[in-house]
Structure 1
């Protein structure tokens, strides 16, 4: 059931995650983020404290909780509860999706403008029964170079019966010398749908000759389960640990000639999976490679995309996103805004 991909330091192993951390309050999330970092063996070389400000100090411990519910009287989903701590902020829900007028759309705002050493962030999103919501970010998340410690983010998504939730953030850009730890937990019943995207840019290509794949460590875990909180409720787990100091990512079978990695996870009722997998297909061209896999225990689909630049990878991810939207909600994505 659990699966891990370690590109570097694989021999040390890592125990699977068998619990969903408590992110229901700011203080609970701080404890959960601290525990997440303590278990990350791959960050053993990066535990020194920054001399300027301690890790997780005021302004470096971000927290955002979003609670969506369907309002039958209004005929749309509303943002019913919001809790936030800088540098993570959000404002009110908007309704810009023309094809889904009842979908609540929220933009996550990073008031600091970037991620720096010692940042400890937590995002908690809940979609109640029948809710329909989209969460995205204001811009790319830029993880700056680090001389001490690392940056981390804990994400928890809880989706209830017949709800539909999307989390499609802008790219994560790893600057030279950066360290990033991320754990994502998803809980949903078989009738719910959750679409989750990740677009990883391993450096600013034109900034410095050593910028591309010049980050120190990237570690991202994903755990998906049914409600219940028991080990047998876990559908699958995976962890991707990228360590450029130990692996040449230009090797054939890893990144080869490609520079950008995109992933879209669609956790959906089983009746949609085969059709969507066939619709997106798979192929390898000079500029792009992609393919979709059905996840363990019928949890959903995972699309992986490799590309030469962010734009073409993002376009393929959006194509799959639109196919999922049309299958589940009946209409594809509307045309993208010109400024996106």
Structure 2
């Protein structure tokens, strides 16, 4: 199935509003904003499909206008079903001046013999802010499908003022690599990462705060690194998807955003 999603925001009366939401099956978009006075618009990306199937091709585009703040949520875990040829997804995010975007989707669960590739391009300016994360599981652990998927590839590029500043390349092929080797998973089964870019953020102070929080998490190995531009890259290894997803959401709440996010009407 080929599916498209295009979201556009606009800034009206000190609030972020949904200007356009074009989607084809299985996509759906719902506005789940609770505080109507806040400038932060919360949208939930839903799907009528049980997961990504053989031959699926998804195209997603999100345009966050100037002075807008958007948080894009997902409805449930993303399941990648068994495939022979695979499925793919392309995502384009464009952040205008003084805008903010947060995307922390539910964990991805690759089933046995699944093959999936994703390419993400994010364009932002000096005054925009980004929180972008993901959680990848080993598969259906309780079904005995620990790293039984064929291939998972997720490439993320972040461009700041038309200059490539961050390139994340996650490739896991259990049949061709020892996922438990040193420098790989080393006995862990789940991994997560979060990318935070904000030119006015106090990176050093935030790094200490995140270390204090993550040190309190049991059975989680983590690293917090300064990004090539002002921001942080956080990586987590663990054994439970819900724990890692909760960690990413908590971290996001600890990260300052532009004033556009908190302005009230």
TM normalised by structure 2 equals 0.91
The Cα of 1:202 is off from its aligned counterpart by 1.8
Cα contact 2:222–2:234 (8 A) shared by 1 = yes
The Cα of 1:171 is off from its aligned counterpart by 1.0
Q: Deviations over 1:215-261 (max 9, x none)?
A: 10111101111244xxxx11132312111012221223311221111
CA distance 1:301–1:244, shift in 2 (3 Å): same
Alignment match of 2:56 (pick from 119, 133, 144): 119
Cα contact 1:294–1:301 (8 A) shared by 2 = yes
Query: SS at 2:51's partner residue?
Result: coil
Query: SS at 2:177's partner residue?
Result: coil
1:63 aligns with 2:1: no
The Cα of 1:322 is off from its aligned counterpart by 1.0
1:205 aligns with 2:147: no
CA distance 1:322–1:97, shift in 2 (3 Å): farther
Distance in 1 (alpha carbons) for counterparts of 2:142 and 2:96? 44
Alignment match of 1:190 (pick from 126, 130, 133): 126
* Structure holding more strand per residue: 2
Question: In the alignment, which residue of structure 1 is the partner of 2:106?
Answer: 170
Bigger radius of gyration:
1
Could you tell which deviates more after superposition, 251-260 or 78-87? 251-260
Question: In the alignment, which residue of structure 1 is the partner of 2:242?
Answer: 311
1:244 aligns with 2:198: no
Q: Deviations over 1:257-291 (max 9, x none)?
A: 21111111112115432222221126597611112
CA distance 1:245–1:63, shift in 2 (3 Å): same
The Cα of 1:183 is off from its aligned counterpart by 0.6
Distance in 2 (alpha carbons) for counterparts of 1:116 and 1:191? 38
CA distance 1:329–1:309, shift in 2 (3 Å): farther
1:321 aligns with 2:252: yes
Question: In the alignment, which residue of structure 1 is the partner of 2:189?
Answer: 259
CA distance 1:111–1:225, shift in 2 (3 Å): same
Question: In the alignment, which residue of structure 1 is the partner of 2:15?
Answer: 76
CA distance 1:70–1:255, shift in 2 (3 Å): same
Question: In the alignment, which residue of structure 2 is the partner of 1:135?
Answer: 72
Distance in 1 (alpha carbons) for counterparts of 2:205 and 2:233? 14
Gaps of 5+ in 2: none
CA distance 1:328–1:68, shift in 2 (3 Å): same
1:223 aligns with 2:186: no
Query: SS at 1:117's partner residue?
Result: coil
Distance in 2 (alpha carbons) for counterparts of 1:327 and 1:124? 22
Cα contact 1:272–1:327 (8 A) shared by 2 = no
Aligned length: 260
* Structure holding more helix per residue: 1
Q: Deviations over 1:131-180 (max 9, x none)?
A: 0111011111100011x211111111111111111112111111111001
Cα contact 1:257–1:308 (8 A) shared by 2 = no
Gaps of 5+ in 1: 1-59, 333-340
Distance in 2 (alpha carbons) for counterparts of 1:285 and 1:96? 30
